Amino acid sequence: MEQLLPQLPLEEGKEQVKSIFQQINDSPKKMLGVMVGLSLIISLTFFGFLYITQTLEVSQGKNSQNQNQETSNTSKDDGEAQDQQRKQDLRDISQALRSYNVNYGEYPVSLENLTPEFLFRVPTDPATKKQYDYRLSVNRKSFEILARLSSGDELSQTGD
């Protein structure tokens, strides 16, 4: 049995044992580094996903404006379709104005200030192709957007 085990000098055996324990001690450090690295990668992936999702939502909102405009042009009842488009446009503008107010603490002087951050483009009346009437209070803390329906009635959207 003694012949099967190699005979190592005592010092060389101690060095091998130290080497084994050193490898064991280094493993938790390596694992910690790997775990920190993976955590960082997962965090960056998560925040990247959130950013992309938010960007897509804004993009889809802008696309819905374009789709609503195209849909109104192909409808059989142009007056009713145009009125629906006007209502949607006022809702879109109103939402963009509220978002602007949250970011800047007041409403913009002009609807043009909403592009491109809050609207892809400022919607226009489907019949006249002119911008909707936008009225801003003197203190810039409230607004009113007006549109004229095909019946001649006035449609209004307000915000404080």
Residue 151 backbone dihedrals phi, psi, to 5 degrees = -75, -10
String of DSSP letters for 37-54: HHHHHHHHHHHHHHHHHH
Tens-place pLDDT, residues 86-97: 899 889 888 989
Given a cut of 80, whether residue 63 has pLDDT beyond it is: no
Q: What is the pLDDT of residue 69?
A: 58
Mean pLDDT of the 138-152 span: 86
Cα gap 128→2, rounded to integer Å = 104
- 1: pLDDT confidence band, cut at 50, 70 and 90? very low
> What is the model's pLDDT at position 116?
86
Sheet holding 133-136, edge to edge: 133-136, 143-148, 154-159
23 pLDDT tier (thresholds 50, 70, 90): low
Q: What is the pLDDT of residues 99-111, one digit of tens each?
A: 888 988 889 999 9
Kindly state the DSSP code that residue 114 receives in the 8-state scheme: G
In which band, very low, low, confident or very high, does the pLDDT at 27 lie, cut at 50, 70 and 90? low
Looking at residue 73, its amino acid is N
In percent, the amount of the chain with pLDDT more than 70 equals 66
Residue 8 sits at the vertex; the CA angle it makes with 5 and 13, to the nearest 5 degrees, is 110
- C-alpha–C-alpha distance, residues 31 and 23, integer Å: 12
Instruction: Indicate if the pLDDT at residue 98 is higher than 80.
Output: yes
Is the model more confident about 63 or about 81? 81
Beta strands in the chain (DSSP E): 133-136, 143-148, 154-159
Element (H, E) at 97: helix 78-104
Mean pLDDT of 14-31: 68
Residue written as tokens 């200030």?
Answer: 113
Contact 79, 150 (CB under 8 A): yes
